[in-house]
A and B are shown apart, each in its own frame.
Chain A
Amino acid sequence: MTITDPPPSEARKRTNLQRIALSITINAVRHELEISPTATLLDIIRDQLGLTGTKKGCDMGGCGACTVLVDGRRVASCLALAASFAGAAVTTIEGVGTADRLHPLQAAFIRHDALQCGYCTPGQILSALALLSEGPGSVAEIREGMSGNLCRCGAYPNIVAAIAEVAGL
């Protein structure tokens, strides 16, 4: 069997040598990164920066576990091509509160027993924070507004109750 080196252009296509300089702010800390063109925002948050609070669930935009805020608006980071987010300010669950100083929404989740396994919770919290800034007018609007976040443990009634409490509804 003879093995020959592929021409350089073919090798480049297969191994993807392109690196992209990305300046991005995560939880108020600015990062100058070199990323792959195929990296998602979720990939760089978890794998490159080690912020593993943001979860990978379906990886197809359907479950909401990967929800983060970009410039204050919630997005599914698994469907966000990172290269497209130059200059963005991102908030992940690590930027929301600490064990000693919980965000009021996190405290409400605990009070209302709004989780079991907890895997979806970071996404639920980030999504709900954005929803609260959108000013939901009713519990029905909370239910509709949180439809992008799945909870396989079925803690929905308690999640809605926690958000409603913080919303003053």
Chain B
Amino acid sequence: MSGPSFHYIRAAGLDDALAHGARRDAIYLAGGIDFLQLWKTGLATPKTVIDISHLPLAEISYAGNTLSLGALARLSEVPAHPDVKVHHPLIAEAILASASGQLRNMATLGGNLLQRTRCPYFRSEGLACNKRASGSGCGARDGENRHAALFGASSGCVAAHASDLAVALSALDAEIVVASVAGERRVGLPDLYPLPDATTAPNSSLADGDVITAIQIRGAAGFAARSTYLKIRDRASFEFAVVSVAGALQVEDGVITAARLSAGGVAPLPWRLHASEAALVGRAPGEAAFVTAAELAIAGARPLNKNAFKIPLLRNAVIRALRTIGGFR
């Protein structure tokens, strides 16, 4: 299987990559996993492929209460890093629940965040999909939508985001560092993923030529002792989430003082459960508080004809995640 021809450029450095990358028909190559899948099936047809995989943007460091993850670090390098293990085990857990050993050795952090949806209408040329062909409609809304979103969808797109890493990063209020020819800027993780409207469903808010250079998490290390990533999937391993929950708590003197909850597989972006978090703070960790949080997590869910089962699944996943991290230590 091979896609259409392209011209290959090995970027000499970040500036060189940015200079080439602003063209509409160019694409950056990092790990290449999602790109090669899309290219082989005719869904990605760049004229130019700019290889950035070897650029020195893979460093992992922890200083001044800030964890900095180079965007070109391979997924397999991150969970093994001592600073990640100690300060943000939630990130390690989410990554180890992703893909396979082979793919984690290839995939980069930046590429993982920008991976395209697994919605079958996006992945099949010829079917209606506003994400692939703006204005063509959404076949999933009244079709095969078992994996579709419960929150944040529109009449024009019901696709869910597939990244596990993004769900963990969302719970930790991560920021994305983006380089462009105009300079560097920081983007909050939720702002990386715009919501769809009636006819358009962009994959990200990045412009042509933008490069994610790093992911940063400031503070939040107080959650290291009590965090978990619970991933529910159709088979035990090497599968995307049907529903996932990233949860983290801080507990002092038998009272929850801070809570973070974010859900995967249920929205076009990691779906932060702010109301559930607020309801947990000030309460004793226990079944009553956990059930309250879980009920708030599913409030406002808008199921389609084949994904309503994900509502009780999300509710119960929130409870199970909180049980895992809410016990006495």
Binding site for B on A (CB under 8 A): 13-16, 18, 20, 37-38, 40, 43, 59-62, 64, 67, 70, 73-76, 78-81, 83-84, 86, 127, 130-131, 134, 143-149
Contacts and interface: CB of A to CB of B under 8 A. Distances in A.
Given A73-B105, A76-B103, A40 B6 contact: no
A75 B8 contact: no
Interface stretch (B45-53, B125-133, B186-194, B206-214): B45-53
A78 B53 CA distance: 17
Given A38-B6, A83-B51, A84-B29, 4 more contacts: A59-B1, A60-B1, A64-B102, A81-B51
Interface string B173-192: 00000000000000000000
Nearest to A13: B5
Contacts of B49: 37, 81
Interface residues of B, number: 30
Contact of A18 (B7, B53, B103): B7
A144 B100 CA distance: 9
Contacts of B100: 64, 76, 147-149
A76 B40 CA distance: 15
B176 to A, nearest CB: 23
A148 B103 contact: yes
A76 B102 contact: yes
Contact of B105 (A20, A38, A75, A149): A75
Nearest to A56: B1
Nearest to A74: B102
A20 B6 CA distance: 12
Interface string B57-100: 00000000000000000001000000000000000000000011
A166 B3 CA distance: 40
A84 B32 contact: yes
B122 to A, nearest CB: 15
B32 A14 contact: no
Contact of B101 (A16, A60, A74, A86): A74
B29 A61 contact: no
A81 B29 contact: yes
A59 B102 contact: no
Contacts of B76: 73
B237 interface: yes
Query: Sorted from nearest, which 9 A-B pairs have the closest CB atoms?
Result: A148-B100, A37-B8, A16-B5, A147-B237, A147-B238, A76-B102, A148-B102, A73-B105, A79-B36
Nearest to B52: A84
A43 B40 CA distance: 13
A79 B76 CA distance: 16
Contacts of A64: 100, 102
B225 interface: no
A166 B54 CA distance: 35
Contacts of A145: 101
Contact of B32 (A13, A15, A80, A86): A80
B5 A74 contact: no
Nearest to A83: B8
B238 A148 contact: yes
B106 A75 contact: yes
A88 B40 CA distance: 24
Nearest to B47: A13
Given A61-B102, A131-B101, A84 B53 contact: yes
A165 B76 CA distance: 25
A144 B106 contact: no
A74 B104 CA distance: 9
11 contacts: A20-B8, A37-B8, A59-B1, A59-B40, A74-B102, A79-B36, A79-B37, A81-B32, A81-B51, A84-B29, A134-B101
B10 interface: yes
A32 B101 CA distance: 29
Contacts of A59: 1, 40
Nearest to B5: A16
A28 B2 CA distance: 28
Contacts of A78: 36
Given A14-B5, A60-B37, A73-B76, A144 B102 contact: no
A74 B7 CA distance: 27
Contacts of B2: 38, 43
Contacts of A148: 99-103, 238
